[in-house]
Structure 1
């Protein structure tokens, strides 16, 4: 069978599929389930310094073409995930995992990153820039001045392999402006995309989630075209050392194939994993391999980033 092995920041993974932060990653039990599945690795729930209960429920709802959520960053706190990963590192030194994190303020973000920098963690770190954390301000990654300032401060002391989770961008000039900032720093990857923010879904004349009067992030089939556009736009614009993780709308092997075709080195599964469970990884992998075999591709590098345009 064709190989779905991939590489991010000099780390090799047997499979290019993994979970998206926020799904099947809140507890050690969930992370263990992903670890023992066909997935190549896992990413933890985005951790804040202290544990958070998150928004009132219902805060997640499956809808026919995906999902809507306003979770509010529920998580067990940085030490819960970091301690687990350090223990795992001792038990399985040949595997690499992702730690996702964000501070509730810039100061807290630096406090968290300093703690990780000073730890023995040898995996990959994902800094989530697609979380709003200042009232009245947009998501960090939509504020280019704040993003540049934060990354400049971070890389003045942080030396471990770091990537960033991004919200979707919708304007070509924003791709240009964001890439110009990211290319200044030794980022190892960008993850495109988090959910499309502030959608609204209605059933029986009512919203379906409680927080924010029903406004929430949209995931699933709805967002695949947006996710693919972001993956390819950054693949075109970022220096080769900054790889792309594609996230959004991955239900089938065909979806994963298209993310890689657009330039993704790794592909995350979110809503489908939430709906189907970890068996989705084996199914999607087999479907991806079948497409590769049909086209005569033996490895991901044979088609990664080779999206064709119309003359």
Structure 2
């Protein structure tokens, strides 16, 4: 079995604009209500971020109206601190829509940042840092080798894990790999048979049973009907993985701003305005994904070891408890972090009275 992803409390951030910089990661590490920290998804050479093309906006899910503060490009162009929209009431949950890509910082820079954060290793044991990466299967293999080597070096003050983001449409000429059985299989084939650090995959929202069937088939190494459980001595792709992060943003969404003078509308975000949605509107779908995955994994002893980090629309203690109820081993937060900063984690712990 692969190494287990284990940390406490079971609350953390997920890969997002608000986990880009050293300042972000330090704040997250020093927050007593996070058990682990996830970096923004990086590539070996960094992502060519364009502040004119890659932006995000907060919006009111009840009205569909974008926040009055406009759109943001994220670090490094915007402030390195977490974004809080003071013009919106703090009690109203906001969603996000984004056309962002991955982090402009390369993987090597994140390894350097982690090394420099030794003074933030204040908990015992030190918090786990999940390094989120993406790229081609060959690049993922290289990422793993770099992270694994760094993890065993004296300059690494934290336990490390690797998350492979297979849920974004930013890899040229390819759909999100976790939507394609053959593409997902190529990534699983590139992973080591006996990893020394926990490895997981981040998946996009699934909306029908066939997508779950395809995922399970890929994890089991078969494209046919799922066979009866067999001996654990037979290696399957799932034996390389410790966890899944479910789920990422929901694509093909659009926000429209009204034009008072003409009665028409214009896209809130650049270009065609199509982006990935996150926050409260995604919550029921995310809960359904986590519940379905947990049931499917528990039905097969070869998959039962897979832990799930449940992500999507959690912004308070009730959302945290719902995620845990449907089978999430830990709960991840992005949009609410961007809205409220690391205080959101403390607030959730207070609401649940530390009853993790």
CA distance in 1, matches of 2:312, 2:50: 23
Unaligned runs of at least 5 residues, structure 1: 1-7, 291-298, 301-311
Superposed CA offset, 1:101-157 (max 9, x none): 112x33322222222233335411111111235444210101111101220221347
Shift of 1:182: 2.3
Q: Indicate how the Cα distance of structure 1 residues 217 and 150 shifts in structure 2: closer, same or farther if over 3 A, else same.
A: same
2:34 alignment partner, one of 35, 39, 58: 39
Contact 1:114–1:158, Cα closer than 8 Å, also in 2: no
Shift of 1:86: 3.8
Number of aligned residue pairs: 282
1:63 alignment partner, one of 36, 47, 59: 59
2:269 alignment partner, one of 199, 209, 232: 209
Q: Does 1:170 align with 2:214?
A: no
Q: Indicate how the Cα distance of structure 1 residues 133 and 24 shifts in structure 2: closer, same or farther if over 3 A, else same.
A: closer
CA distance in 2, matches of 1:113, 1:283: 35
Q: Does 1:17 align with 2:49?
A: no
Superposed CA offset, 1:202-261 (max 9, x none): 012111111x41000000111001100110111011222100000001011111100100
Superposed CA offset, 1:266-299 (max 9, x none): 1011111111111111111222338xxxxxxxx5
Q: Does 1:99 align with 2:131?
A: yes
1:154 alignment partner, one of 191, 194, 206: 191
Q: Does 1:81 align with 2:113?
A: no
Q: Does 1:232 align with 2:226?
A: no
2:145 alignment partner, one of 114, 127, 132: 114
Contact 1:17–1:39, Cα closer than 8 Å, also in 2: yes
Q: Calculate the TM-score normalised by the size of structure 1.
A: 0.84
Shift of 1:84: 2.5
CA distance in 2, matches of 1:61, 1:136: 26
Q: Calculate the TM-score normalised by the size of structure 2.
A: 0.74
Please provide the CA RMSD for this pair.
2.1
Between 1:77-86 and 1:241-250, the stretch displaced more is 77-86
1:195 alignment partner in structure 2: 249
Contact 1:61–1:67, Cα closer than 8 Å, also in 2: yes
Shift of 1:91: 6.9
1:274 alignment partner in structure 2: 338
SS at match of 1:24: helix
CA distance in 2, matches of 1:160, 1:63: 38
| CA radius of gyration, larger in | 2
SS at match of 1:76: coil
Q: Indicate how the Cα distance of structure 1 residues 90 and 17 shifts in structure 2: closer, same or farther if over 3 A, else same.
A: same
Unaligned runs of at least 5 residues, structure 2: 62-94, 153-158, 221-235, 259-264, 298-302
Q: Does 1:179 align with 2:216?
A: yes
